[in-house]
Amino acid sequence: MKKIVKKALVDTLPVMTGYLVLGFGFGIVLHAAGYGLPVALVMSLFIYAGSMQYAAIGLFTGGASLVTVGLTTLMVNARHLFYGISMIDKYKDTGKRKPYLIFALTDETYSLVCRDLTKIPLEQRKNYYLLVSLFDHLYWVAGTALGAVAGRLIHFNSEGIDFALTALFVTVFLEQWLSSKDHLPALAGVGVSLLCLPIFGAEGFLIPAMLGIAVILCLYKGKREGGKEQNG
Amino acid sequence: MDDLHIWLAIAVMSIVTAATRFLPFLLFSGKKKTPKLIERLGKTLPFAIMGMLVVYCLKGVHFGGLSGFLPPLLACLAVGATYVWKRNTLFSIISGTVLYLVLVQFVF
């Protein structure tokens, strides 16, 4: 058990760096918009979706209706559907942990739990999923609280430190690339996204990119295994 | 926005966010067997998604000047090179992030 806690802590260090900084930034911006610690804490505990929480500040100050709020959330977070699809098997027999594991499946947690973890024995792996999810959630809440409370007192130039999250995604991408002979899915992910970015813009390219990726991956595998999947 | 509206908005965001996370599990779990297509998508998607997330993180890159693309490009190369060399995630992330910090704060 001790070993798995240590592994989860070490593996989540990059997320800690990123979440503390991004959470801190969120706390400060929310404070500047006129909302204090209770709002910040409740948002980070229960919404727990970074880019949506940043977007929410604009919705608050713009006086958006609840319908607008709901639709924006759906658009910004639609990518979660993909994470779920690829974790159905891995989270299958996680028992009581499962609802929390699903609730806490952020981009960064996903990047850690989607890796090939078969080296860890199954029982321990379930606890590893839980610990990674829990630690990441705590970092996010702690960062937000610090930003909301002490944001005005501390001045340091943290510009660029959120690159830690980009770096995390790059290493996971590379690890997957190096450990697999089939590079088409990875290439499809990068290629379709790069194609959609200039067409739909930085704010709107994720959903078309996801649709494109889904279509390619469905066709690709279907082709490979012959006509078996016609009715699937 | 008044207080009540803010709390209601937070409730809506929490519920919709949770819905996007729970929906696949609600649709494809329990006694019914997961459709083959979804099962196979589940295996190939992580590769594609990480590629998409890397692009998503770099969406602010522009070519209107050296500072628009050189820091992220060099830092990503540093992450990649150190990772292929050492295969140590933490080492690569620290190297790349420190390089990026120095580049954006002191060089460009």
pLDDT 10s digits, A143-198: 999 988 876 666 556 677 778 778 888 988 998 899 888 899 999 999 999 999 99
Token readout for A133 is: 């999810």
Give the domain ranges of chain B.
61-108
C-beta contacts of B2-8 below 8 A and 24+ residues apart: B5/A66, B6/A35, B6/A39, B6/A60, B7/A42, B8/A66
A214-224 exposure pattern, b = at least 16 Cβ within 10 A, e = fewer: bebbbeebbee
Q: What is the pTM of this model?
A: 0.78
Separation in Å, CA A2 to CA A55, A128, B71, B90, B106 = 39, 11, 39, 20, 41
Chain B from 14 to 33: CB within 8 A of any A CB: 14, 16-18, 20-25, 28-29
Token readout for A191 is: 């290629």
What is d(CA B30, CA B49) in angstroms, rounded to the nearest whole number?
Answer: 25
Q: How many other CB atoms are found less than 10 A from the CB of residue A161?
A: 22
pLDDT higher than 70, residue B7? yes
Q: CB neighbours of A52 closer than 8 A, spacing ≥ 6?
A: A72, A73, A76, A77, B13, B17
Please tell me the distance in Å from B72's CA to the nearest CA on chain A. Answer: 8
- Does the beta carbon of B107 lie under 8 angstroms from any beta carbon of chain A? no
Please tell me the distance in Å from A127's CA to the nearest CA on chain B. Answer: 19
Asked if residues B57 and A111 have their Cβ atoms less than 8 Å apart, the reply is no
C-beta contacts of B22-28 below 8 A and 24+ residues apart: B22/A84, B22/A102, B22/A103, B23/A81, B23/A84, B24/A81, B24/A84, B24/A85, B24/A87, B24/A88, B25/A84, B25/A87, B25/A88, B25/A91, B25/A98, B25/A102, B28/A85, B28/A88
* Residues from chain A contacting residue B17 (CB–CB below 8 Å): 47-49, 52, 73, 77, 80
What is d(CA A164, CA A168) in angstroms, rounded to the nearest whole number?
Answer: 6
Please answer yes or no on whether B29 and A102 come within 8 Å at the CB atom: no
* Residues from chain B contacting residue A14 (CB–CB below 8 Å): 89-90, 93
pLDDT higher than 80, residue A86? yes
Give the domain ranges of chain A.
2-161, 180-227
* Residues from chain B contacting residue A222 (CB–CB below 8 Å): 37
* Residues from chain B contacting residue A116 (CB–CB below 8 Å): none
Please answer yes or no on whether B72 and A111 come within 8 Å at the CB atom: no
Q: Which range, of A18-32, A90-104, A130-144, averages the lowest pLDDT?
A: A18-32
Facing residue for A193 by CB, picked from B52, B76, B80: B52
**DSSP letter assigned to residue B107:** I
Asked if residues A12 and A136 have their Cβ atoms less than 8 Å apart, the reply is yes
**How far is the first Cα of chain A from the last one, in angstroms, to the nearest whole number?**
41
CA trace torsion A231, A218, A77, B62 (10° rounding): -160
Q: Which of A159, A152, A162 is nearest to A16 (CA)?
A: A162
Question: In this predicted model, which residue has the larger pLDDT, A229 or B2?
Answer: B2
pLDDT at position A226 is: 42
Structure ipTM: 0.86
